[in-house]
């Protein structure tokens, strides 16, 4: 009994250590940004091959630290993803490649049906990840297709758009071509992600003037990122924290794997011993 108990105690301690690091980072961000909620944590279960249990660990971490959790879903009709998100306390849903009002209507239909059925007290906001040229060309259609859609953020994915030979200047041109984006700026935030580093974050904030800046795992309020050394230090801290959280997930997986491996080894030894004894006894 000592080994499982030891693993549990170690895992609890690891979570507590990670929680303290996140809490300390939130304090730093609050001081730098002047915002009550300057930070959120984002996971993409499909891209990063995260299991439901992996996300549960991070959901508990977010709940303990009082920061929102953002989760990506697999598409506009990812009903199972939406159902799981409701049980994981997701504050924001992130969806990619919405390139028509029809796709948006399918997303909103699933969204309303599932969250109304589950009687969720507070529905999560929706972030549209702008990762194809088509997501820009249909932007006006999307923003006018519903009087009050729950879209809270447009997240510009610089890395994905670079595959279409779109640089920052071209991306901004696409964004500025939308007549509706200016009208919607009071209710919709603009965020940037992809290729964010301590070295370029100040420049990108100057160019895009975003409300949010996103590393792979963290969504940060852009206030405080326009001034060195704050911008460099904040992004560096977030990247270090990402590594720590990934380590926490891996430790949990290793602990589970170790338990399963031990059970398998004991089972193999038992079967071998029984089979050999049976064969010997029959021969005798």
User: Which residues neighbour 119 within 8 Å (Cβ) at sequence distance 6 or greater?
Assistant: none
CB burial string 185-204: b at 16+ within 10 A, e below: eeebbbbbbbebebeebbeb
Asked if the structure places residue 85 within a domain, the reply is yes
Asked if the structure places residue 51 within a domain, the reply is yes
Asked if the structure places residue 278 within a domain, the reply is no
Asked if the structure places residue 267 within a domain, the reply is no
> ∠ CA 250-251-252 to the nearest 5 degrees?
90
Asked if the structure places residue 182 within a domain, the reply is yes
Please, what's the largest Cα pairwise distance for the chain? 90
pLDDT tens, residue by residue, 6-65: 554 555 556 667 777 788 888 877 777 777 778 899 999 888 888 888 898 888 888 888
Q: How many domains does the chain have?
A: 1
What band does 261 get if pLDDT is binned at 50, 70 and 90? Answer: confident
pLDDT tens, residue by residue, 123-166: 888 999 999 998 888 888 887 765 556 788 999 999 999 999 99
pLDDT, mean of residues 247-255: 81
Q: What is the CATH number of the domain that holds 237?
A: 3.20.20.60
First CA to last CA across the chain, in angstroms?
Answer: 39
H or E element in which residue 101 lies: helix 101-117
Asked if the structure places residue 112 within a domain, the reply is yes
Range of the domain at 113: 2-253
Closest CA to 112 of 100, 124, 103: 124
The pLDDT, as a whole number, for residue 72 is 92
pLDDT tens, residue by residue, 176-230: 888 878 777 777 899 999 999 999 999 999 999 999 999 999 999 888 777 767 7
């Amino acid at each position: 009994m000592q080994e499982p108990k030891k693993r549990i105690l170690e895992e609890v301690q690891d979570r507590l250590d990670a929680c303290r690091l996140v809490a300390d980072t939130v304090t730093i961000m609050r001081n730098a940004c002047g915002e009550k909620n300057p930070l959120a944590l984002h996971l993409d279960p499909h891209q990063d091959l995260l299991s439901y249990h992996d996300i549960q660990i991070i959901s508990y971490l977010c709940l303990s630290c009082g920061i929102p959790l953002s989760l990506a879903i697999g598409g506009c009709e990812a009903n199972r993803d939406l159902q799981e998100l409701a049980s994981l306390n997701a504050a924001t849903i992130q969806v990619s490649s919405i390139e028509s009002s029809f796709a948006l209507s399918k997303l909103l239909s699933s969204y309303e049906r599932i969250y109304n059925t589950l009687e969720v007290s507070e529905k999560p906001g929706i972030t549209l990840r702008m990762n194809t040229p088509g997501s820009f060309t249909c932007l006006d259609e999307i923003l006018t297709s519903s009087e009050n859609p729950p879209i809270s953020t447009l997240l510009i994915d610089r890395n994905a758009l670079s595959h279409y030979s779109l640089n920052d200047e071209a991306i901004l041109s696409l964004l500025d071509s939308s007549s509706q984006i200016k009208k919607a700026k009071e209710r919709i935030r603009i965020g940037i992600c992809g290729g964010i580093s301590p070295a370029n974050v100040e420049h990108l904030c100057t160019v895009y003037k975003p409300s949010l800046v996103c590393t792979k795992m963290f969504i940060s309020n852009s206030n405080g990122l326009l001034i060195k050394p704050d911008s460099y230090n904040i992004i560096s801290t977030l990247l270090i924290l990402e590594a720590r959280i990934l380590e926490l997930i891996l430790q949990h997986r290793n602990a589970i794997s170790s338990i399963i491996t031990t059970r398998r080894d004991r089972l193999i030894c038992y079967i071998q011993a029984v089979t050999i004894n049976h064969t010997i006894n029959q021969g005798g």
